[in-house]
Structures are given as C-alpha cells and as structure tokens.
Amino acid sequence: MADENNYSGQSIKVLEGLEPVRKRPGMYIGTTSIDGAYHCLSEIVDNSIDEALAGEAKHIDVILEENGYVTVIDDGRGIPVDLMPGYGKSALEIIMTKLHAGGKFETDAYKFSGGLHGVGASVVNALSDHLVVEVKKGNDIYRQEYERGVPKTEVIKTTEMKYPRSYLNGTATSYKLDGTIFKQGIDLELKQVKRRIKDRSYLISGVFFTIHDKRIPTKIGYFFDGGIVSLLKDLNKNKRVLHDPLYFKSQQEDLELEVALQYNDNMAENVLSFVNVINTKEGGTHLTGFRIALTRAVNAYGKKEGLIKANDEALSGEDVREGLAAIVYIKMPSTNLQFEGQTKTKLGNAEVQGVVQQETNKALDLFFEENPKAAKQILGRILLAQKARFAAKAAKEAVIRKGALEGATLPGKLADCQSRDPAQSELYLVEGDSAGGSAKQGRDRRYQAILPLRGKILNTEKAYLDKVIAFKEIKDLVIALGTGIGETTDYEKIRYHKIIIMTDADVDGEHIRTLILTFFFRHLPELVKRGYIYVAQPPLFKLTLGKKSHYAFTVEERDALLQGDFKDDPSKVIIQRYKGLGEMNPDQLYQTTMKAENRLLKQVTIEDTEVADQTFTLLMGDEVPPRRKFIQTHARMAEIDS
C-alpha cells in the first residue's frame, strides 16, 4: 500500500491522448488475445459501416496483407481533413489520436452507429505498431502515418494513392497491430473474418462487402439485397419450413425495428438479435419485447379460433419458440444506447421493450388474419410442442419418483473420482466396455472418472425430452453430470468441469462422438458455451525399433519421426496403426490419451452458433441430399485408412 504521507499531487499520473489505451488495452477491446485482434478489425470495419448506415457508402473492402497488415477501404464521404475548431489540427488527426472524438457522438453526423463505444479508430491506432489513413476526396488524396498512436507525419495532400481504388471518395485505413501487446499473435484466420463480415453484410442490405486475402490468395464477396430475410433463409438452410418468411419493419421516432421470422420442423429455437449491427448475444429489452408479443399473439389466435379452450393451459414461451428461427434488429442513435452484461452485449434500454412488443403484436395479428393456413400450421406445430412438454414432464416425474434422476444414486458402471471439486474433476465418456475397462484401470483415480457408453446413443436431433430421458445411456450420463435436464437444469450442480469424449478413431467412433455432441448441443448447450466439453485425441500410430518407441497422433508426426528419431534405420521400424482404444493396454491408454502432460485434447467451442446449428441439422436430420453433398465436399479432409 502507498505511504499516506507521500500521497500528493506528485502521486497522481494523468494518462493523456492514447496512453491509457496502451497502458490498459483490455478496458477498451476486452482482451489482448487473438479475440482482441478481431475486435480491432470490427472497430475499423464498423467505422465504414457508419457511412453505409448513413446512406453514404456502397462498398466496403477488407484486405488481409501478406506482411501482417490489415486494410479496410470504403467509398463513403471520407474522414474530414479540415482544421478542427479549437485544436488547430486536422479533424483526421484528432479523430485518430483522441478518445471519444468521432462523429458518432454527434447525431447530426451519424443517426445510427455501428461501433459499441465510439472509440474505434483511435484505439486501433494506439494498439498498432504502424497505421496509415488515406482519405480520398475527388482527385485529392490526404494521408497521415502513425506509430503506436503517435503521428509520424503531418496530414499531407497528394495526388498519388498508396491504396489504389476506383472510388471517387472514401477512406482507407491500413494497420499492423503491435505484437508486444498482442502476444498470442495478430494473424487473422480467413474463416473468422468471413463470419464477421458476412454477419454485417446481412444487416446492411445493398452494400457490397469484399474480402481479399492476399496470403492464399483468394477473394470473396458478399451482397445481400434481402437484408435480414436473407439471413433468416440462411438460418433455415437444410430445414423444412412451415411457411414463407414473415418480415415487417416499423419506425417510431428515432427507433427503427426490423423483424423476420419463420418456423421449421427442427426442435431448437434460433433467435438472433442485433442493435446497430452489434450482435446482442445476451439479448436484452428488444428480445424480451419480441418474445412476450409472440407468446401473447399465438395464445390469442389459438383462443380466437377455438384451438385453445377456456380451461386449457396457456402455451408457454418455450412451446411457442420451439422450431422458431427469427431475427430482431433495431437501429437507434448510438448516443442513447445502454448496454448491460459482462460483455456489454445485452441491450438495457427499457423504452425499447414496449415499442418492440407493440409493433410485433400488430404484425403477428395481421399475419395470422391474412394467412390462416400458415397460422394453423404454426399453431398445430406449437400444440405438438406443448403436448411433448407435458409428456416429458410426466416422464421425468415418473423417473424422479423411482429415484433415478435427481438426487439419485450414481450409475453403477460409473467409476467416479475421489475429488469432489468440479474444477479439478474430469469425466471420460468412453466407447464400449472394453475400452472402459482399460480406462478404469489406467486412470488417475484422484480426479478422473470413467463412464462407459454401450453402443450408439439416441439421436437427439429431433427427439422430444420424454424419449431422451427414457434412453438408459443418456439417463446415466445426466445422473453422472448432476445438472438435471429440461426445465429444471441447474448448471451450477455440474460435477465435472472437463467432460471428455473418448471414442475409437473409426467411422463408428466418429458417429458415436457426433451423437454425444448433438445431445450436449441440443439439451445442455451451456456446457459447451462454458468450455466444459472436450474430445480426446488418441494416437494413431506406435513406432517401435528395439527398445525405443514413440507415439504419433497424425500421419505428419509419424513421417517426422521416421525422418528424425528413426532416420538411421526407418525400414526396420515396426509401425502399429491403432484402430480402437481397446488395442491399448491400461498403461498405454493412460500415458497417451489421459495423462495431462502427454494427452492431446480438443476443446469443443461454439464461436458461431448459427453454423453449428446448421451443421448438426445437416448431419443428424432427415434431409439426405444435402448431407451427401456435405460428406462428398469434406471427404478430402478426412484420412482414408486403406
């Protein structure tokens, strides 16, 4: 603790300009991991999106350079370069070197803004080793360069473009992040960049987005004139839909609302919400308003048509949202935005809920009245969901009465660990009794539990909860986890923070793994979101020469060993290809696949919920042609074991 007697004006340090950003980058971009590097890209892209939202830009280009630079170009009005009143410097320099100096703080400049905090360009500048801004206004080019947020040149006027483009006006920002801050690296994956750009392109219809990855090289373009309806169709790809998309748009004063929804034959709810192109992953008042209106409108229609009797139990929100795909998108002045939640992705504006609820209710009432056939199909589907919920509740209560689910004795075949600390405990889900026996013998009993699974578990992609609960292998798994399932799921009661799927490296093993992952994704998704689910990677090969032996997890590792440790006499090396976990004795299984220092685990994550939802629907659903196409397309990525 500081000496109170020395606490004076000299003890106070004022961080000026962009110095606080470099001092505490996490306060501005959340993290300095690779996620922070993607956040920086979003901040620069969102500045261009501000121009598009204002109707001033039609093209936004993202270029991933070979030398680690990222360049973003738009054809908007271009950042102002005239002198800023009271500063004696160009507006460009002020925007790039001062926090909270952008046009999004002035509603005359931008009515709606994409950035979350309005500090994007200056923060990225501060965290960049080198950054260049080039503004084009007709034939005039204005350029300024910075190093770690500090101007290295004046704003120069020239006729030569460093970043050639055919647009009459616009801004080009090229930056290379500072590797001393982003210690995990600054190389952006094309897949992740595509996801971020594609999401935004759906929300801003009529704008051309281009990604040019010069490292591969490859060029990709996105243009969705249909806006959020295009996104809705993408969400429902490979699913059987009940009706044409319902889309409506309304405006009340400074708030614009767009909603698109469509029911499908899937059991999962997939509702996305956005505010000014920000993905509000935690929801908020706009999503609450939509859900309340949907539940009330469906119940009102059911009663009006006599499909829900006076004494019947009302349809719940859970019933109404089963099989629903929807997008709720609002735009409002960024100066009015209020965000909540740990990641600031939950809208907190109380006034929004009433507006969304009122407008959604009106639109649904009109839709049901004008489309009676679709309305009855939707209601019939929802009534089936309610019936299944009642059946699941009854089945669960019956199971509980038998003492076999909540507060029950752990399954007899579970070899539990000694630790009672979930953070230290691991549960291995092992394919078959043979491998299960080896795992039980070889494990570290202090913190590793083993649950053998016999055969292939139920495909839960379209199974209602009553059937899921009745399936013995799943029931045993739920009891072992301790969370419960369905309406009473309590994730805080989880008994293990690592749940490791360990199956054979063959077609059957892959299928079992996919079935288990489908169950977690559809029925206990929070376990995936929390990062508790892992897939074990057993070795594919054992190489032996005399008394020397090594394991290889990939073909590349095998070849490297033959050219390395075994290079003196590779022809005499005995290579064993493991096709099943049962081929390893308990000690081998532990040393290669279970021992923390040696094992290779892959954490299952859902960075893109929509993509994961589509993939599970495609692989585990009823539609054969798209599944066949997916397998044919991705077959080249799989190893063929001849």
d(CA 175, CA 65): 10
Task: Examine the pLDDT at 586 and tell me if it is beyond 80.
Answer: yes
d(CA 178, CA 301): 58
Average pLDDT over residues 568-594: 87
d(CA 177, CA 41): 10
96-110, 279-293, 334-348, 417-431: range with lowest mean pLDDT: 96-110
Residue 500 falls in which region: left (phi positive, over 0), alpha (psi -120 to 50) or beta: beta
Give the residue numbers marked as catalytic.
431, 504, 506, 508
pLDDT of res. 403: 47
Query: Residue 311 gets which letter from DSSP?
Result: T
**202 near 230, Cβ under 8 Å?**
yes
**588 near 605, Cβ under 8 Å?**
no
Task: Examine the pLDDT at 551 and tell me if it is beyond 50.
Answer: yes
Q: Exposed (0-12), middle (13-18) or buried (19+): which is 547, by Cβ within 10 Å?
A: exposed
pLDDT of res. 564: 87
Task: Examine the pLDDT at 618 and tell me if it is beyond 60.
Answer: yes
d(CA 508, CA 580): 10
> CB neighbours of 138 closer than 8 A, spacing ≥ 6?
168, 169
d(CA 263, CA 323): 6
Task: Examine the pLDDT at 509 and tell me if it is beyond 90.
Answer: no
Average pLDDT over residues 31-39: 90
Domains (range + CATH), the chain:
19-222 (3.30.565.10), 228-392 (3.30.230.10), 410-536 (3.40.50.670)
Average predicted confidence (pLDDT) for the chain: 85
d(CA 209, CA 223): 6
Task: Examine the pLDDT at 175 and tell me if it is beyond 90.
Answer: yes
pTM to 2 decimal places? 0.70
pLDDT of res. 366: 96
d(CA 630, CA 623): 11
Task: Examine the pLDDT at 236 and tell me if it is beyond 60.
Answer: yes
Average pLDDT over residues 224-230: 92
